[in-house]
A and B are shown apart, each in its own frame.
Chain A
Amino acid sequence: MVGITSYGAYIPWHRMNREDCVKAWGGFAMPGERAVAYYDEDSLTMAVDAARDALADFDSTKVDGLFFATTSSPYREKQCAAIMAWPLNLRNNIRSVDVSTSLKSGTSALALAVDSIKAGTLNSALVTAADLRLGAPAGMLEQQVGDGAAAFLLGRENVIAEIIGMYSVADELVGTWRSSEDFYLRSWEDRMIMDEGYAKILPEAMAGVLKLCELTPKDITKVVFDPPADARRHGKVVSQAGFEPGQAQDIYGLYLNVGITGSAMAPMMLVAALEDAKPGDKILFAGSGDGADAFILQVTDQITKLKPRRGIKQNLVSKRVMANYNDYMRWRDMVPLEAARRPDKQHIRLSANWRERKQLLGLWGVKCLKCGTPQYDNGAATTGPIRICAGCQAQDAFEDYPFAHRKATVFSYTQDNLAPVIDPPASVVLVEFEGGGRAFFDLTDRDPAKVEIGMPVEMTFRKLQLDRGITNYFWKARPIR
């Protein structure tokens, strides 16, 4: 049996009231809020967060493949999956794949992973999809899109939802696009995209997979697929494809609170569907964009044994509504701002980062074999591994010790108005980890007024700096969501 063994999701903590776009630019406000990735997030970091949700109680070193789907890769040349393998603590002898450019890359990555496992090449695979797409300021797309991620762990054992059929359709219809030079989304007329693309291709793919599995719409418990820009058209396709409205997975929870999350939209909806799924349910899952991929999932008894995850539900309610639209422009670097009157940061040194990739990307520290002190080094005068124990001065007597998954508490902090950061003040915390060890970290996703000594925090993978096209990823602390 091949199928989903676990799932996870990520929605940024920050939400923008869509009316704020209208306050800034005029025009019509869509109802609700959209999720906005913080200034230190991108599609890669969001995918890592969703994947960590999926992997929470699984052994990451048993994962054989990592598929990352996005249309908003931080790199045009350079694989994200290879970076993500470090924060996710995967082995190096895995198949790492970025699937890109199409809005259906999330479902296509899922299909590739399923095929790899069915072929016997991989025993398990992690599929992640994330997007951070930009509509140009003052347009409707800016309000419609949102940022988010989903992840699925796939394998042969303890499957919660078996994938019993897959069917794909490729379709050349330039609906929305970004050329290699475009910063913002471009789109053809909605009505044509919907009439000739979305409303034709999705029913075709859904009918294809139903036929393949010798099923009819009435056999399906839930039909799960992404909504178009005009969300009302989703319902029309539900009936066009032969389903009753009650069979459709709700779109409005995400549409009104998160926005359309690109390649992550259909996968996030599937996570939401699995959160409510019961053994025996049959799910028709499809994702659209340059065609469509459709799947039939059979939910198993195992789903009752999967521990609750953050998923969509918990991510949705954990939020902070942004104070204004200006912050959004600042976080997305849409307007040139006066540079902080502080010294320039030094360049990223790739060789040093490479040397320390395990510490920096994996947040691995060491534990002394002599005195047992766990230690992580953030703030040394020079780069380099820990050679001498901070506790007992024993030399080179360590075992590797992971910090990324450990909870911690704030030992002390400051709210620094002087440090040049994108969303001042810089909330810097000295945290103490459960099990020992302390270190300084930036505190992200925080309300400065609510930071206090003793506050519980967890670690999250973020970007620190963009320099000469290189994104420097590292870990920050955040209040537990």
Chain B
Amino acid sequence: MPGSIKDRVAIVGMGCTQFGELWGKGPTDLIVEAVNEALADAGIEMKDVQAAWGGTLFSGAGGRTVSEALRSQYIPVTRVENACGSGHEAVRGASYAIAAGIYDICLAVGYEKLKDEGMSGLPGMENRTNTHYQSSMPGVFAIMATRYFNRYGLSPEEGKSMLGKISVKSHRNGAMNPKAHLRREITLEQVLNAPIIAWPLGLFDCCGVSDGGAAAILVRADMVKNFPNRPVYIKALQICASPTTGRMVTDYDYTHVEEAHRAGIAAYKEAGITNPRKEISMAEVHDCFSITEAVTMEDLQFSPRGRVKEDVDAGVFTLEGELPVQPDGGLKCFGHPIGASGIRMLYEPYLQFQGKAGQRQLKDPKLALAHNMGNEPYAPVVSVCIVGT
């Protein structure tokens, strides 16, 4: 019988760098700045940390990248990589080690320096080794949008408008977030008139490419009284890896992400949630593209299948709505420094629970969900982390 992480580990400190095109900063800066903030927030020093996990896809190799940056003194440091889900993987490593009773205080840090390539996009994603077709990442998600529109009878205009509203909502939130990369409100008209990146996705349907880092200090739940802040407990952390058969067999509809659906079910079970839409106060989901956010609302059972448009149109996911999604601006406004995103997604709930979310502050949030997804819609690793007080 599998065990549960619920309420066994608490986050007592977090840090998050400014996200953006940080021409003047390298991976070391991102690690040091995120960890410094987290340590200070938790009221501890690096020497108090017993083990660390660093999540990154491209920035450095081995645990050394983190131990070197922090000059940590001979503690175990592990680099984890689970594609775009590397941030959550770092949290998972740290929290499971604590739950196993091996350590009391652990560090999880996610970081990515993407803007050292001299070009937009991710370095080396065209180099997937056994892929003999030529699509970009926006392309493989665009294929999902094409199919979604077709399956649910949305005209290209209706479909693009639905997706556009998702981006407009996220930009509105991101504009209120000093740490976001893109901090400008946009209009639906701007979204619809923007250049097409991969039909039907346009410029504003795609998240930015940025540098960033985020860190969390995790401790055994019974130690929280030793730390100054209101603790945020991990209620569930479930990862679901794809057999990647959706590109090979015909039973996959390409209008949902099965792994997200299953990770959601597992996380709700672990957290004891029976009605996600009612019980979840806010969600930070992996909106690498607007269509990803749309289908994720359905995968996580926030919206009925094929009907997310009704909820988008009704403003359910806005800051004032029934279930705010991407209150911090999401990947849309933060960009997606791969390893950092999963932990950045937990930073916003952490602020919200502390009442430190400024203009974006929600009223009395109880449970927050962070959804982190790596790789293509037919082949992802998805993690769902639920946190609460």
| A residues neighboring B (CB under 8 Å) | 341-343, 345-346, 352, 360, 373, 375-384, 390-391, 411-421, 425-426, 428, 430, 432, 436-442, 453, 464, 474-475
The 8 A CB mask of B127-145 against A (1 = contact, 0 = none) is 1111111111011101110
Q: From residue A132, how far is it (CB to closest CB) to chain B in Å?
A: 22
Contact B129 A381 (CB under 8 A): yes
In the complex, A197 Cα to B132 Cα: how many Å? 47
Contact B147 A453 (CB under 8 A): yes
Measured between beta carbons, the chain A residues less than 8 angstroms from B201 are 414
Q: From residue A476, how far is it (CB to closest CB) to chain B in Å?
A: 8
Q: From residue B32, how far is it (CB to closest CB) to chain A in Å?
A: 28
8 A-B pairs in the complex with CB atoms less than 8 angstroms apart:
A346-B127, A346-B129, A360-B132, A378-B133, A380-B131, A390-B248, A430-B254, A440-B247
Tally of chain B residues near chain A (CB < 8 A):
46
The 8 A CB mask of B104-138 against A (1 = contact, 0 = none) is 00000000000001111111111111111111101
In the complex, A360 Cα to B130 Cα: how many Å? 10
Measured between beta carbons, the chain A residues less than 8 angstroms from B144 are 412
Measured between beta carbons, the chain A residues less than 8 angstroms from B127 are 343, 345-346
Which chain A residue shows the least CB distance to B202?
A: A417
Contact A438 B136 (CB under 8 A): no
Among the 9-residue stretches B1-9, B192-200, B215-223, B301-309, the one with 4 or more Cβ atoms under 8 Å from chain A is B192-200
Contact of A440 (CB < 8 Å), options: B120, B135, B136, B142: B135
Given contacts A414-B135, A442-B133, list 7 more A-B pairs with CB under 8 A. Answer: A345-B126, A381-B128, A383-B129, A414-B199, A416-B136, A419-B136, A439-B248
Contact B135 A390 (CB under 8 A): no
In the complex, A377 Cα to B245 Cα: how many Å? 9
Measured between beta carbons, the chain A residues less than 8 angstroms from B140 are 414, 428
Chain B interface, >50% SS class: loop
In the complex, A383 Cα to B201 Cα: how many Å? 30
Contact of A437 (CB < 8 Å), options: B122, B198, B249: B249
Centre residue among A352, A379, A437, A438 by max chain B CB count within 10 A: A379
Q: A411-B254, A426-B139, A440-B247 are in contact. Are A379 and B134 (CB under 8 A)?
A: no
The 8 A CB mask of B222-258 against A (1 = contact, 0 = none) is 0000000000000000000001110111100010000
The 8 A CB mask of B197-217 against A (1 = contact, 0 = none) is 111110000000000000000
A-B pair count, CB < 8 Å, reads 158
Contact B133 A440 (CB under 8 A): yes
User: Is B65 positioned at the interface, with any CB of A under 8 Å from its CB?
Assistant: no
User: Is B146 positioned at the interface, with any CB of A under 8 Å from its CB?
Assistant: yes
The 8 A CB mask of B8-32 against A (1 = contact, 0 = none) is 0000000000000000000000000
Contacting A at CB under 8 A, from B293-348, are none
Q: From residue A477, how far is it (CB to closest CB) to chain B in Å?
A: 9
Measured between beta carbons, the chain A residues less than 8 angstroms from B196 are 415, 417
Contact B131 A379 (CB under 8 A): yes
Q: From residue B163, how far is it (CB to closest CB) to chain A in Å?
A: 14
In the complex, A380 Cα to B150 Cα: how many Å? 26
Contact A415 B254 (CB under 8 A): no
In the complex, A428 Cα to B137 Cα: how many Å? 12
Which 3 A-B pairs have CB atoms at the shortest separation, nearest pair first? A416-B139, A414-B142, A412-B147
User: Is B379 positioned at the interface, with any CB of A under 8 Å from its CB?
Assistant: yes
Q: A343-B119, A346-B129 are in contact. Are A416 and B138 (CB under 8 A)?
A: yes
Q: From residue A126, how far is it (CB to closest CB) to chain B in Å?
A: 26
Contact A391 B249 (CB under 8 A): yes
Centre residue among A384, A390, A430 by max chain B CB count within 10 A: A430
Contact A377 B117 (CB under 8 A): no
Measured between beta carbons, the chain B residues less than 8 angstroms from A430 are 143, 247, 254
Contact of A442 (CB < 8 Å), options: B134, B146, B249, B254: B134
Contact A418 B136 (CB under 8 A): yes
Measured between beta carbons, the chain A residues less than 8 angstroms from B134 are 416, 419-421, 426, 428, 442, 464
Q: From residue B228, how far is it (CB to closest CB) to chain A in Å?
A: 44
Contact A438 B129 (CB under 8 A): no
Q: From residue A400, how far is it (CB to closest CB) to chain B in Å?
A: 16
In the complex, A384 Cα to B143 Cα: how many Å? 25
Q: From residue B252, how far is it (CB to closest CB) to chain A in Å?
A: 8
